[in-house]
Protein backbone atom coordinates (compact mmCIF):
# COMPACT_ATOMS: atom_id res chain seq x y z
CA UNK A 1 0.00 0.00 0.00
CA UNK A 2 2.59 2.59 1.21
CA UNK A 3 5.39 3.26 -1.27
CA UNK A 4 8.16 5.87 -1.05
CA UNK A 5 7.93 8.85 1.29
CA UNK A 6 7.00 12.05 -0.54
CA UNK A 7 7.13 14.65 2.26
CA UNK A 8 7.93 14.76 5.91
CA UNK A 9 6.54 17.70 7.84
CA UNK A 10 6.58 18.55 11.50
CA UNK A 11 3.56 16.39 12.37
CA UNK A 12 3.01 13.96 9.50
CA UNK A 13 4.67 11.94 6.77
CA UNK A 14 3.16 11.60 3.31
CA UNK A 15 3.71 8.46 1.22
CA UNK A 16 3.04 7.66 -2.41
CA UNK A 17 0.80 4.69 -3.23
CA UNK A 18 0.26 2.55 -6.35
CA UNK A 19 -2.41 5.07 -7.31
CA UNK A 20 -0.79 8.35 -8.47
CA UNK A 21 -3.85 10.28 -7.29
CA UNK A 22 -3.71 8.95 -3.73
CA UNK A 23 -1.33 9.30 -0.77
CA UNK A 24 -1.08 7.69 2.65
CA UNK A 25 -0.62 10.18 5.50
CA UNK A 26 1.05 8.97 8.70
CA UNK A 27 0.49 11.04 11.85
CA UNK A 28 3.46 11.39 14.23
CA UNK A 29 3.65 12.15 17.95
CA UNK A 30 6.17 14.95 17.20
CA UNK A 31 5.11 18.41 18.30
CA UNK A 32 6.73 21.71 17.44
CA UNK A 33 5.92 25.29 18.32
CA UNK A 34 7.29 28.77 17.65
CA UNK A 35 8.36 27.89 14.15
CA UNK A 36 10.15 24.68 15.16
CA UNK A 37 12.16 26.24 18.01
CA UNK A 38 10.34 24.18 20.66
CA UNK A 39 10.22 20.44 19.96
CA UNK A 40 8.88 17.47 21.91
CA UNK A 41 6.78 14.36 21.63
CA UNK A 42 3.17 14.32 22.77
CA UNK A 43 2.43 10.68 23.58
CA UNK A 44 -0.60 9.44 21.65
CA UNK A 45 -0.95 12.61 19.56
CA UNK A 46 -0.50 10.86 16.22
CA UNK A 47 -3.31 8.41 16.90
CA UNK A 48 -5.56 11.10 18.35
CA UNK A 49 -5.10 13.61 15.52
CA UNK A 50 -5.57 10.86 12.94
CA UNK A 51 -8.80 9.79 14.67
CA UNK A 52 -10.15 13.34 15.09
CA UNK A 53 -9.44 14.25 11.46
CA UNK A 54 -10.85 10.93 10.23
CA UNK A 55 -14.02 11.65 12.22
CA UNK A 56 -14.50 15.27 11.14
CA UNK A 57 -13.63 15.16 7.43
CA UNK A 58 -16.45 12.75 6.44
CA UNK A 59 -18.90 14.93 8.40
CA UNK A 60 -17.65 17.96 6.48
CA UNK A 61 -18.02 16.04 3.19
CA UNK A 62 -21.64 15.33 4.11
CA UNK A 63 -22.06 19.04 4.82
CA UNK A 64 -20.92 19.81 1.25
CA UNK A 65 -17.21 20.51 1.81
CA UNK A 66 -14.94 18.61 -0.61
CA UNK A 67 -11.94 17.17 1.27
CA UNK A 68 -8.87 15.05 0.56
CA UNK A 69 -9.99 12.35 3.01
CA UNK A 70 -10.74 8.87 1.66
CA UNK A 71 -10.35 6.31 4.45
CA UNK A 72 -8.78 5.66 7.86
CA UNK A 73 -6.33 2.78 7.44
CA UNK A 74 -5.04 2.26 10.96
CA UNK A 75 -4.20 3.99 14.23
CA UNK A 76 -1.84 6.48 12.61
CA UNK A 77 -2.66 6.29 8.92
CA UNK A 78 -5.24 7.54 6.51
CA UNK A 79 -5.63 7.34 2.74
CA UNK A 80 -6.16 10.72 1.09
CA UNK A 81 -6.41 12.26 -2.34
CA UNK A 82 -3.02 13.52 -3.49
CA UNK A 83 -3.16 17.29 -3.88
CA UNK A 84 -0.88 20.13 -4.74
CA UNK A 85 -0.96 22.08 -1.49
CA UNK A 86 -1.76 25.77 -2.02
CA UNK A 87 0.94 27.52 0.05
CA UNK A 88 -1.56 29.75 1.83
CA UNK A 89 -2.59 28.86 5.37
CA UNK A 90 -6.13 29.97 6.08
CA UNK A 91 -6.99 31.00 9.63
CA UNK A 92 -10.58 31.48 10.72
CA UNK A 93 -11.11 33.36 13.97
CA UNK A 94 -14.24 33.59 16.11
CA UNK A 95 -12.62 34.95 19.27
CA UNK A 96 -9.37 36.93 19.63
CA UNK A 97 -6.37 34.79 20.64
CA UNK A 98 -2.78 33.99 19.76
CA UNK A 99 -1.04 36.10 17.12
CA UNK A 100 -4.21 38.15 16.46
CA UNK A 101 -4.32 39.29 20.09
CA UNK A 102 -0.61 40.00 20.14
CA UNK A 103 -0.53 41.90 16.85
CA UNK A 104 -3.55 44.08 17.59
CA UNK A 105 -3.36 44.38 21.37
CA UNK A 106 -6.77 42.76 21.83
CA UNK A 107 -7.20 40.70 24.99
CA UNK A 108 -7.42 36.94 24.41
CA UNK A 109 -11.00 35.79 24.71
CA UNK A 110 -12.54 38.93 23.21
CA UNK A 111 -15.37 37.75 20.94
CA UNK A 112 -15.27 39.03 17.35
CA UNK A 113 -18.45 40.63 15.95
CA UNK A 114 -18.03 38.50 12.79
CA UNK A 115 -15.66 35.73 11.76
CA UNK A 116 -12.27 36.90 10.49
CA UNK A 117 -10.44 35.01 7.75
CA UNK A 118 -6.68 35.58 7.66
CA UNK A 119 -4.09 34.27 5.21
CA UNK A 120 -0.45 33.38 5.82
CA UNK A 121 2.26 32.28 3.43
CA UNK A 122 3.08 28.66 4.30
CA UNK A 123 6.85 28.97 4.80
CA UNK A 124 8.71 27.58 7.79
CA UNK A 125 11.79 29.58 6.79
CA UNK A 126 9.83 32.87 7.03
CA UNK A 127 7.64 31.89 9.99
CA UNK A 128 4.35 31.76 8.02
CA UNK A 129 4.02 35.55 7.54
CA UNK A 130 0.60 37.20 7.30
CA UNK A 131 -0.35 38.09 3.70
CA UNK A 132 -3.47 39.21 1.87
CA UNK A 133 -5.14 37.65 -1.14
CA UNK A 134 -3.59 40.21 -3.54
CA UNK A 135 -0.16 38.96 -2.49
CA UNK A 136 -1.16 35.35 -3.10
CA UNK A 137 -2.44 36.19 -6.61
CA UNK A 138 0.49 38.50 -7.47
CA UNK A 139 3.01 35.82 -6.54
CA UNK A 140 1.12 33.05 -8.34
CA UNK A 141 0.29 31.00 -5.26
CA UNK A 142 -3.44 30.87 -6.04
CA UNK A 143 -5.93 32.28 -8.53
CA UNK A 144 -8.58 34.82 -7.62
CA UNK A 145 -11.34 32.27 -8.21
CA UNK A 146 -9.52 29.75 -6.03
CA UNK A 147 -9.17 32.28 -3.22
CA UNK A 148 -12.86 33.18 -3.43
CA UNK A 149 -13.71 29.47 -3.22
CA UNK A 150 -11.28 28.95 -0.33
CA UNK A 151 -12.86 31.78 1.66
CA UNK A 152 -16.36 30.40 1.00
CA UNK A 153 -15.29 26.89 2.05
CA UNK A 154 -13.47 28.18 5.15
CA UNK A 155 -16.58 30.03 6.33
CA UNK A 156 -18.80 27.03 5.56
CA UNK A 157 -16.41 24.84 7.58
CA UNK A 158 -16.71 27.32 10.44
CA UNK A 159 -20.50 27.26 10.22
CA UNK A 160 -20.43 23.46 10.52
CA UNK A 161 -17.77 23.18 13.22
CA UNK A 162 -18.87 25.92 15.65
CA UNK A 163 -22.22 24.28 16.55
CA UNK A 164 -20.70 20.78 16.28
CA UNK A 165 -18.18 21.60 19.00
CA UNK A 166 -20.63 23.72 21.03
CA UNK A 167 -22.89 20.66 21.31
CA UNK A 168 -19.91 18.85 22.83
CA UNK A 169 -18.99 21.49 25.40
CA UNK A 170 -16.23 23.14 23.37
CA UNK A 171 -15.76 26.72 22.18
CA UNK A 172 -14.00 26.82 18.80
CA UNK A 173 -11.85 29.94 19.21
CA UNK A 174 -9.93 29.77 15.92
CA UNK A 175 -8.51 27.21 13.47
CA UNK A 176 -6.03 26.85 10.60
CA UNK A 177 -6.87 25.15 7.30
CA UNK A 178 -4.84 24.06 4.27
CA UNK A 179 -6.36 23.60 0.84
CA UNK A 180 -5.01 21.81 -2.21
CA UNK A 181 -5.74 21.16 -5.86
CA UNK A 182 -6.54 17.66 -7.04
CA UNK A 183 -5.24 16.45 -10.43
CA UNK A 184 -8.31 17.98 -12.11
CA UNK A 185 -7.85 21.33 -10.40
CA UNK A 186 -10.65 21.00 -7.85
CA UNK A 187 -9.94 22.88 -4.62
CA UNK A 188 -10.40 20.60 -1.61
CA UNK A 189 -9.76 20.84 2.13
CA UNK A 190 -6.51 18.98 2.88
CA UNK A 191 -4.19 18.42 5.83
CA UNK A 192 -5.86 18.00 9.26
CA UNK A 193 -8.28 19.46 11.79
CA UNK A 194 -7.03 18.63 15.28
CA UNK A 195 -5.90 20.15 18.59
CA UNK A 196 -2.63 20.97 16.75
CA UNK A 197 -4.48 23.26 14.34
CA UNK A 198 -7.43 24.60 16.36
CA UNK A 199 -7.94 26.48 19.61
CA UNK A 200 -10.50 24.63 21.71
CA UNK A 201 -11.68 26.06 25.04
CA UNK A 202 -13.90 24.18 27.47
CA UNK A 203 -17.32 25.85 27.35
CA UNK A 204 -17.76 25.73 31.14
CA UNK A 205 -14.28 26.68 32.38
CA UNK A 206 -12.55 28.21 29.31
CA UNK A 207 -9.72 25.75 29.99
CA UNK A 208 -7.47 25.35 26.94
CA UNK A 209 -7.75 21.90 25.34
CA UNK A 210 -5.32 22.22 22.43
CA UNK A 211 -1.68 22.75 21.48
CA UNK A 212 -1.51 25.97 23.53
CA UNK A 213 -1.05 23.66 26.56
CA UNK A 214 2.24 22.58 24.94
CA UNK A 215 3.22 26.04 23.58
CA UNK A 216 2.64 27.71 26.96
CA UNK A 217 3.84 24.88 29.25
CA UNK A 218 0.44 24.52 30.90
CA UNK A 219 0.82 20.76 31.56
CA UNK A 220 -1.85 18.13 30.96
CA UNK A 221 -1.15 18.12 27.22
CA UNK A 222 -1.81 14.40 26.62
CA UNK A 223 -4.96 14.48 28.76
CA UNK A 224 -6.34 17.45 26.83
CA UNK A 225 -5.79 15.73 23.46
CA UNK A 226 -7.42 12.52 24.74
CA UNK A 227 -10.38 14.48 26.10
CA UNK A 228 -10.80 16.27 22.75
CA UNK A 229 -10.97 12.92 20.93
CA UNK A 230 -13.59 11.76 23.42
CA UNK A 231 -15.70 14.90 22.92
CA UNK A 232 -15.35 14.99 19.13
CA UNK A 233 -16.58 11.42 18.80
CA UNK A 234 -19.30 11.79 21.47
CA UNK A 235 -22.94 12.32 20.54
CA UNK A 236 -24.28 15.87 20.87
CA UNK A 237 -25.11 16.91 24.43
CA UNK A 238 -28.74 17.53 25.48
N1 LIG B 1 -3.60 15.44 0.50
C2 LIG B 1 -2.36 15.94 0.56
N3 LIG B 1 -1.54 15.86 -0.53
C4 LIG B 1 -0.28 16.37 -0.49
N5 LIG B 1 0.26 16.94 0.60
C6 LIG B 1 -0.49 17.05 1.71
C7 LIG B 1 -1.84 16.56 1.76
N8 LIG B 1 -2.35 16.83 2.99
C9 LIG B 1 -1.37 17.46 3.68
N10 LIG B 1 -0.24 17.60 2.93
C11 LIG B 1 1.05 18.18 3.32
O12 LIG B 1 1.79 17.24 4.04
C13 LIG B 1 2.88 17.88 4.70
C14 LIG B 1 3.12 17.24 6.05
O15 LIG B 1 2.20 17.67 7.01
P16 LIG B 1 2.73 18.36 8.35
O17 LIG B 1 3.64 17.44 9.07
O18 LIG B 1 1.52 18.87 9.07
O19 LIG B 1 3.59 19.56 7.73
P20 LIG B 1 4.02 20.99 8.29
O21 LIG B 1 5.30 20.79 9.00
O22 LIG B 1 4.15 21.82 7.05
O23 LIG B 1 2.89 21.47 9.18
C24 LIG B 1 2.51 19.36 4.72
O25 LIG B 1 3.32 20.03 3.77
C26 LIG B 1 1.04 19.37 4.25
O27 LIG B 1 0.73 20.58 3.61
MG1 LIG C 1 1.07 20.79 9.68
Mean pLDDT over the full length of the chain: 97
Domain covering 84-219, topology: D-amino Acid Aminotransferase; Chain A, domain 1 (3.30.470)
Q: Which residues contact 115 (CB under 8 A, 6 or more apart)?
A: 92, 93, 94, 155, 158
Cα pseudo-dihedral 146, 151, 157, 159, rounded to 10: -150
Same fold, 5-81 and 84-219: no
- Which pTM does this prediction carry? 0.98
Mean pLDDT across the stretch 55-71? 98
Domain boundaries, the chain: 5-81, 84-219
* Class of domain 5-81 as given by CATH: alpha beta
pLDDT band at 62 (very low <50, low <70, confident <90, very high): very high
Calculate how far, in angstroms, residue 9's C-alpha sits from the geometric centre of ligand 1.
Answer: 6
Residue 238: pLDDT band by 50, 70, 90 thresholds?
low
Pocket-testing residue among 10, 13, 14, 71, ligand 1, by greatest number of atoms within 8 A of Cβ: 14
Q: Which atom of ligand 1 is nearest to the CA of 122?
A: 22
pLDDT (tens digit, 9 = 90+) per residue, 80-122?
A: 999 999 999 999 999 999 999 999 999 999 999 999 999 999 9
- As a whole number of angstroms, the distance between CA 50 and CA 73 comes to 10
Tens-digit pLDDT profile for residues 138-180: 999 999 999 999 999 999 999 999 999 999 999 999 999 999 9
Q: Which residues form ligand 1's pocket by a CB distance below 6 Å? A: 7, 9-12, 14, 23, 68, 80-83, 85, 178, 180, 190-191
Please name which of 190, 156, 159, 153 lies closest in space to residue 172, comparing C-alpha atoms. Answer: 159
Amino acid sequence: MKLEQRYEGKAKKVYATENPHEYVVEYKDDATAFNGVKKAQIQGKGEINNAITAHLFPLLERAGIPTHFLEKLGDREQRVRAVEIIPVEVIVRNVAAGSFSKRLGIEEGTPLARPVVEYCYKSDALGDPLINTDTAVALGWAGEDELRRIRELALNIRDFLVPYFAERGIRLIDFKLEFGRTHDGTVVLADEISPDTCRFWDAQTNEKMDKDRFRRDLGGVEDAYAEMLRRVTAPAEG
